[in-house]
Amino acid sequence: MLVIALDTSTPAVTAGLVALDDGGPRSLAERVTINPRAHGELLMPQLLDVMTEAGHQLADADAIVVGSGPGPFTGLRVGMVTAAALGQACGRPVHPVCSLDAIAAQADVTGQLLVATDARRKEAYWAAYSGRTRIDGPHVQRPADVPTGDCTAVAGELADAFDLPVVEPRYPTPVGLVAAAEAVLGTEPAPLVPLYLRRPDAELPSKRKSVLTRGGK
Amino acid sequence: MTADRVVLGIESSCDETGVGLVRLAADGSVELLADAVASSVDEHARFGGVVPEIASRAHLAAMAPTMRRALDESGLELSDVDAIAVTAGPGLAGALMVGVAAAKAYASALGVPLYGVNHLGGHVAVDTLEHGPLPERCLALLVSGGHSQLLLVEGIADKITEVGTTIDDAAGEAYDKVARILDLPYPGGPPIDKQAKLGNPKAIAFPRGLTGPRDPKYDFSFSGLKTAVARWVETEQREGREIPVPDVCASFQEAVADVLTAKAVRAARDLDVDTLVISGGVAANSRLSELAAQRCAEAGIELRVPRPRLCTDNGAMIAALGAHVLASGAKPSPLDMPANPGLPVSTIVVQ
Ligand SMILES: [Zn+2]
C-alpha cells in the first residue's frame, strides 16, 4: 500500500510517500526542510513535489499518517489539519502517531531509548522506549528533571541536552512515521487529537482596576 | 466557457470556523448554497476576550466537521467544487494558519485553484449574497470586535481603499470592555443592546471620540469613551449611588452609533458615493442600524446591511469574495502563500 507521511511537530517540515509491503516501509520520495517558521508555507508544496517525483497523484495513496506531536502548537497544527483535509478530500483514513514514536521507530538501539525534542521554554518533550514500545511519556519537562536512569541512548532534536550516547534520527522521518503506525493501518483510525501537553496561555481577568486611582488622581 | 461554478470559502481568522459554499453564475451573480459555522466563543467567555491559542485549537478540531456540515447543507460533494477561497488575513496568526493549511490541502486534493483573500473584503462581498451586485463605487463601514473601518470599494474584486480606521480599540472591543465594567456577560454587544433599549440615550453625555475640528475626519477612537464610562461608573459607586445600567448602556451605545454613522455619512458625501454597506458583528446592533437608516435616508444614501448571520465572521463571505475574484479572472494564489495577520485591506487576493 501507499502511505502519505507528514510531520510538523519539530522544526523539520516533513512530507513523504512510503510504500508498505512485506519488507516493511520503504521511502519512495521525501522532502524535509528545517525551518521552524514556515510549516504552513512549505508543507503542501513539498508534498506535491514528493508525489511528482514518485509519479503518483495524491488520490493514489491508500492512507495518511501524521505526527500528532507533542510539538509547539502552531507548527504542529499545520501537519494535522493538512492531513485531515487531505483525508477528507480523498476519502482516505488518517492515522495520527506520536511523533516521538516515529523517531524511536527509526533509531538503531538495543536496550532502552530516550527520545527528546525541543518544547521551547527550556523544556523537552520526551518519552522512553524499550525497543519500539513506549514505556513512559510523552511528557514535557526540563531536561534536568527527565529520569534517564535505564536509558542507554538518546535520539531526537534535543538529544545533546542529555549525558547519553546520541543516536539518529533527530526528527521524525516518513519511514519512521509509517513504521510507528504499521500496527494500526487498516484499522479504524484514532481521533485526530494533537498531543499539546500544555494548556493554552490564558490569564483570567483580574478584578477591574479603578480608573480613578490611575495617574495619581 | 463560463457555466455555473461552485466556490468554497474557508474562514478562521478569529474565533469562528466557517465553511461556506456559493454558486457563481455566468452573469457574475452569486448565490448562497451553504454556510456552516462553529464558534469557540463560549470557551473565551471567562477570559473576557478571544484567547488566540484556544481559538487555534478549536479551528483544528472544527475544520473537517464544519466542512462536512456545509457540504451536507448544500447537497454537494467536494468533487463539485470548482475553486477554493480562504481568509489569508488579517487576523490571528495561529488561527489563520489552520484555515490556510486546510485550504491548500483541499485545493491540492481536488485539483482546483486556491485564492487567499482578504477577510475585510469578505465582510463587504457577503452583501452581494443578500442584496445582489454592488454599485461601481460604494462605502463600507465594518464594525465588530476586531474591526472598525471605513472602506471605499471601487469594484469588490478590483480596488478597496481604507478611508478611516480606529486609532485604538475596535467598536466591538469597547462593547466588551464596557460590559465588563457593568458586570454584563461577554461578548458585550447583545447584553448592552438589550439594556440600552430600556434606558435613556441622553442620560449621560459620553464623549464622541475624534470629532473635533482638527481631528482626522474619518478615523475612530473608542478608548476614551470606554474610559469615560469607567470613570462615570466609579464616581457613582464612590458616591454610593446605584448604577443605572440601562442609562449607561443607552448613552454609551448612542455615542458609538452617533460617531460611526456621522463619520460614515460624511465620508459618503465627501467621496460622492450613494451606497453604504454596514457589516461586521456590531452591524446587528439595533441603535446603529436605526441611526444609520435615519441618517442615510436624510442624506439620500442607500443603506445595505446583510442579515446578522452574514454580518458575523463566516465562510460564506469568503466564498462570496472568492467568487467575485474568480469572476474577475484574477490569478490564483501560490501554494506557498503565507497566512498574513497584517494583510492590508488593499490586497484583495494574495498573489
Ligand atoms: Zn470579521
**Residues near B151 by Cβ (< 8 Å), separated by ≥ 6?**
B120, B124, B139, B140, B141, B142, B160, B161, B162, B163, B345
- Is the pLDDT at A209 greater than 80? The verdict is no
pLDDT in tens, B10-52: 999 999 999 999 999 999 999 999 999 999 999 998 898 899 9
| Boundaries of domain holding B16 | 5-130+310-328
Tell me, yes or no, if A40 comes closer than 8 A to chain B by beta carbon. yes
Q: Is residue B344 part of a domain?
A: no
Say if residue B213 is in the same domain as residue B97. no
Give B16-28 as a 3 state SS string: EEEEEEEEECCCC
B144 annotated as belonging to a binding site for a ligand: yes
Domains of chain A, earliest start first? 2-184 (3.30.420.40)
Does the pLDDT of residue B180 top 50, yes or no? yes
User: From the list B48, B60, B108, which residue is nearest A80 (CB)?
Assistant: B60
Is 80 exceeded by the pLDDT of residue A207?
no
Which amino acid is located at B5 in the chain?
R
Residues B9 and B28 grouped into a single domain: yes
User: CA-CA distance, B115 to B7, in Å (whole number)?
Assistant: 10
> Could you give the CA distance from residue B135 to residue B273 in angstroms, rounded to a whole number?
9
Domain annotation covers residue B335: no
Nearest to A65 by CA among A33, A20, A31, A34: A20
Q: Do B241 and B319 reside in the same domain of the chain? A: no
**Mind listing the pLDDT tens digit for each residue in A52-75?**
999 999 999 999 999 999 999 899
* B176 annotated to bind ligand: yes
Domain end residue (candidates: B273, B290, B305): B305
* Residues A95, A188: Cα–Cα separation, whole Å: 9
Q: How sure is the predictor about A206, in pLDDT bands with cuts at 50, 70 and 90?
A: low
Do the Cβ atoms of A48 and B53 come within 8 Å? no
Q: Do both B9 and B56 map to the same domain? A: yes
The tens digit of pLDDT for each residue in A5-21 reads 999 999 999 999 999 99
Torsions phi, psi for A21 (to 5 deg): -140, -165
Residues B169-178 have a mean pLDDT of 93
Query: Is residue B336, in this structure, part of any structural domain at all?
Result: no
Q: CB distance from A35 to chain B under 8 Å?
A: no
| Residues A82, A60: Cα–Cα separation, whole Å | 17
Please enumerate residues of B whose Cβ is less than 8 A from a Cβ of A: 46-48, 51, 53-54, 56-57, 59-60, 63-64, 67-68, 78, 93-94, 97-98, 100-106, 108-110, 180-181, 227, 230-231, 234-235, 238, 335-339
In chain B, which residues have their Cβ closer than 8 Å to the Cβ of A208?
180-181, 230
ipTM of the shown complex: 0.95
Same domain? B324 vs B262: no
Q: What angle do CA A118, A122, A127 make, to 5 degrees?
A: 45
Residues B28 and B81 in one domain: yes
The reply to whether B172 falls in a domain is: yes
CB contact under 8 A, B101 and A196: no
pLDDT digit string, tens, across residues B300-320 = 999 999 999 999 999 999 999
Percent of chain B with pLDDT over 90: 96
In this structure, are B111 and B162 located in the same domain? no
* B339: in domain: no
Partner residue opposite B101 with nearest CB, options A43, A89, A202:
A43
| Cβ neighbours of A80 in B, within 8 Å | 60
pLDDT of residue A22: 87
Over pLDDT 90: what percentage of chain A?
Answer: 87
Residue B348 maps to a domain: no
pLDDT over 50 (residue B227): yes
| B86 and B211, same domain (yes or no) | no
- The answer to whether residues B254 and B300 belong to one domain is yes
Tell me the whole-structure pTM to 2 decimals.
Answer: 0.95
Q: Could you give the percent of chain B with pLDDT greater than 70?
A: 99
Amino acid identity for residue B330 in this structure: A
Same domain, B185 and B298: yes
Chain mean pLDDT for chain A: 93
CATH code at position B300: 3.30.420.40
Q: Tell me whether residue B340 is in a domain.
A: no
Same domain? For B241 and B274 the reply is yes
Nearest to B90 by CA among B345, B277, B283, B350: B345
Mean pLDDT of A132-142: 96
Query: How many structural domains compose chain B?
Result: 2
Q: Are residues B92 and B55 in the same domain?
A: yes
The set of residues, in sequence order, having a beta carbon less than 8 Å from that of B104 and lying 6+ positions away, is A43, A44, A82, B114, B335, B337
Q: pLDDT, tens digit, for every residue of A144-175?
A: 999 998 999 999 999 999 999 999 999 999 99
Mean pLDDT for the stretch of residues B285-296: 96
Distance from CA of B332 to the nearest CA of A (A): 15
Residue B230 lies in a domain: yes
Q: Which three cell numbers stand for residue B207?
A: 464623549
- pLDDT at res. A212: 47
